[in-house]
């Protein structure tokens, strides 16, 4: 009987490109059955996808994000499908204030029972996971950053019309543009103290970021300026910029495609800094806040901060440089993402195959406390499911009610979301990103025990 792996997707726009390749490799190299499914239950015609998908037995359930208090749907899915849970950590730089959310520091016992194995990008995060979250190192696999695997530096093509220089401003100010009710909900969700004034920190930075971009655009009308808002960020803050003739607001273009066409990339604290470096692009991190408060600056120790007053001269120095590309300093890339140990997507496939082999004959029965946690979610979701069916039926026979329509609108939200995907989407994304480098599934891998986890390395076979 073929082993089956369910891989959950949190943000399709970010994760689907490399997960479709991972799916193809696992199916062709290791002869496994792979399903790519939304992490959150999807509502359609009044019914939830949870009950259909979770009852199907699978051997591994892989999730990009997990919190033992908040994502109980994943825990219930694990128990119903009798699978081992693998947490594929999709964020490697974590502000210490997010430890409770990302490392489950206030519910470490539950987290340890819930998640059997962890995939991380580099040794530094493995250390954090081991020392802060208390995860045993034999359950940690270091596999690299899959987003970097999608970048073929040897085949990068610059823009066709390099007459005007182009500067890409990358925004990451979602916290600053949140409505107050959404911000209050986020504080509770992530366990952040209101007195830390997290939103105030980002609002201060956003005002200076816009002022810097505005002044630069006016002073340099012959330079094309592109501003890329963060996904989900309100664009109202950038209205004044959009009115300038040499400014373009770029929404929806994959970051790599935008970055390749830029001569300089400017940002605040976005982790696209590392992708920019990997692309060989000059990048400036604007130093926009004088009082960092509890926002730990050491967390951004790799960033090359430039004072606001020095930005224009520094930018001009980069732009006046006649080099078409810049020498890549791989130090931080290798420290954080172990990029020098082979292709990350191949390494991830190898790690999941190894986990399957060592866990196939191990069984564990959930303790009563964990059964209660799962069943509480299942009961609540079942009631929502019944309510959804009733609401859909009422609307279909002409009974109109504001509450019923809200339920219906919630059900339609998924299909209208930019994160929507189905089997056709998966096929399209696979065809787009499955380059010739992944057509050969002949590779070998080996594991090395390090101080904080199992380092997975691959060696591709040439013929």
The answer to whether residue 329 sits within a structural domain is: no
Judged against a pLDDT cut of 90, whether residue 418 lies above it is answered with no
Judged against a pLDDT cut of 80, whether residue 90 lies above it is answered with yes
Indicate the pLDDT class of residue 45, thresholds 50, 70 and 90: low
The answer to whether residue 91 sits within a structural domain is: yes
- Higher pLDDT among residues 151 and 50, named by residue: 50
User: Residue 208: enclosing H or E segment and its boundaries?
Assistant: helix 198-219
Q: How many other C-beta atoms are found inside a 10 Å radius of the C-beta of residue 377?
A: 19
Phi and psi at residue 75, in whole multiples of 5°?
Answer: -65, -45
The answer to whether residue 196 sits within a structural domain is: yes
The DSSP result for 40-53, as a single string, is: S--EETTEESHHHH
The answer to whether residue 333 sits within a structural domain is: no
What domain count does the chain have?
2
What the block records as the tokens of 93 is 């730089």
Residues 143 and 176 in one domain: no
Question: What is the pLDDT, as a whole number, of residue 23?
Answer: 96
The answer to whether residue 328 sits within a structural domain is: no
Average pLDDT over residues 256-276: 91
The answer to whether residue 332 sits within a structural domain is: no
Indicate the pLDDT class of residue 404, thresholds 50, 70 and 90: low
Average pLDDT over residues 141-153: 88
- Provide the sign of the torsion angle of the four alpha carbons 168, 280, 301, 270, taken in this order: positive
Question: What is the pLDDT, as a whole number, of residue 312?
Answer: 95
Average pLDDT over residues 410-435: 82
For 344-360, what is each residue's pLDDT tens digit?
A: 999 999 999 999 999 98
Average pLDDT over residues 53-82: 93
Cβ–Cβ < 8 Å for 106, 191: yes
For 281-313, what is each residue's pLDDT tens digit?
A: 899 999 999 888 777 777 788 888 999 999 999
Q: In what order do the strands lie in the sheet with 247-249?
A: 247-249, 224-228, 166-170, 264-267, 283-287, 305-307
Distance CA(216)–CA(213), nearest Å, equals: 5
Cβ–Cβ < 8 Å for 224, 163: no
Residues 370 and 309 in one domain: no
Distance CA(70)–CA(66), nearest Å, equals: 8
Mean pLDDT lowest for which of 23-27, 196-200, 398-402, 435-439? 398-402
Residues 144 and 167 in one domain: no
Judged against a pLDDT cut of 50, whether residue 214 lies above it is answered with yes
Question: What is the pLDDT, as a whole number, of residue 104?
Answer: 94
Name the pTM for this structure. Answer: 0.87
Mean pLDDT lowest for which of 285-289, 409-413, 428-432? 409-413
Please give the residue range of the domain that contains residue 39.
4-150+339-460
Please name the residue that has the structure tokens 């994000």: 65
Judged against a pLDDT cut of 70, whether residue 135 lies above it is answered with yes
Q: In what order do the strands lie in the sheet with 117-120?
A: 33-38, 4-9, 60-63, 84-88, 117-120, 140-142, 454-460, 443-449
Question: What is the pLDDT, as a whole number, of residue 324?
Answer: 47
What the block records as the tokens of 114 is 């819930």
Residues 143 and 173 in one domain: no
- Out of 261, 293, 323, pick the residue that ends a domain: 323
Coil, helix or strand at residue 245: coil
**CA 187 centroid distance within chain:** 20
Average pLDDT over residues 92-118: 89
What the block records as the tokens of 257 is 């495609």
């Amino acid at each position: 009987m073929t082993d089956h792996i369910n891989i959950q997707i949190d943000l399709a726009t970010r994760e689907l490109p490399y997960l479709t390749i991972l799916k193809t490799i696992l199916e062709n190299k290791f002869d496994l059955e792979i399903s790519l499914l939304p992490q959150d239950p999807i509502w359609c015609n009044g019914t939830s996808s949870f009950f259909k998908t979770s009852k199907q037995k699978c051997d591994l359930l892989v999730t990009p994000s997990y919190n033992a208090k908040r994502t109980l749907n994943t825990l219930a899915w694990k128990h119903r499908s009798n699978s081992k849970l693998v947490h594929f950590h999709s964020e490697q730089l974590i502000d210490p204030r997010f430890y409770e959310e990302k490392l489950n520091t206030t519910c470490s016992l539950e987290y340890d029972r819930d998640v059997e194995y962890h995939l991380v990008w580099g040794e530094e995060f493995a250390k954090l996971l081991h020392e802060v979250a208390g995860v045993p190192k034999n359950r940690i696999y270091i596999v690299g950053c899959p987003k970097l695997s999608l970048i073929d530096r040897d085949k990068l093509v610059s823009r066709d019309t390099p007459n005007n220089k182009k500067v890409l401003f990358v925004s990451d100010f979602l916290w600053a543009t949140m409505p107050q009710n959404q911000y209050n909900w986020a504080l509770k969700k992530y366990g952040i103290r209101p007195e830390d004034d997290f939103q105030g920190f980002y609002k201060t930075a956003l005002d200076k970021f816009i002022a810097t971009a505005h002044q630069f655009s006016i002073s340099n009308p012959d330079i094309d300026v592109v501003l890329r808002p963060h996904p989900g960020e309100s664009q109202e803050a950038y209205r004044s910029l959009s009115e300038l003739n040499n400014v373009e607001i770029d929404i929806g273009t994959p970051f790599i495609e935008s970055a390749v066409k830029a001569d300089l990339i400017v940002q605040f604290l976005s982790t696209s800094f590392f992708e920019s470096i990997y692309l060989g692009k000059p990048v400036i991190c604007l130093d926009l806040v004088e009082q960092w408060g509890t926002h730990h600056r050491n967390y951004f120790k790799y960033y090359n901060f430039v004072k606001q007053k020095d930005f224009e001269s520094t930018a001009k120095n980069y732009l006046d440089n006649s080099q078409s590309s810049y020498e890549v300093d791989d130090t931080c890339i290798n420290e954080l993402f172990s990029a020098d140990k082979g292709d990350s997507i191949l390494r991830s496939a190898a790690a999941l195959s190894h986990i399957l082999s060592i866990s196939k004959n191990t069984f564990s029965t959930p303790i009563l406390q964990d059964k209660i946690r799962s069943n509480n979610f299942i009961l609540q979701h079942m009631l929502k499911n019944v309510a959804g069916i009733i609401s859909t039926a009422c609307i279909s026979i002409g009974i109109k009610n504001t509450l019923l329509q809200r339920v219906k609108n919630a059900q339609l939200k998924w299909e209208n979301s930019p994160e929507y995907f189905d089997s056709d989407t998966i096929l399209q994304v696979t065809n787009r990103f499955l380059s010739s480098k992944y057509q050969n599934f002949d590779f070998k891998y080996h594991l090395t025990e390090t101080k904080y986890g199992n380092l997975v390395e691959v060696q591709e076979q040439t013929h």
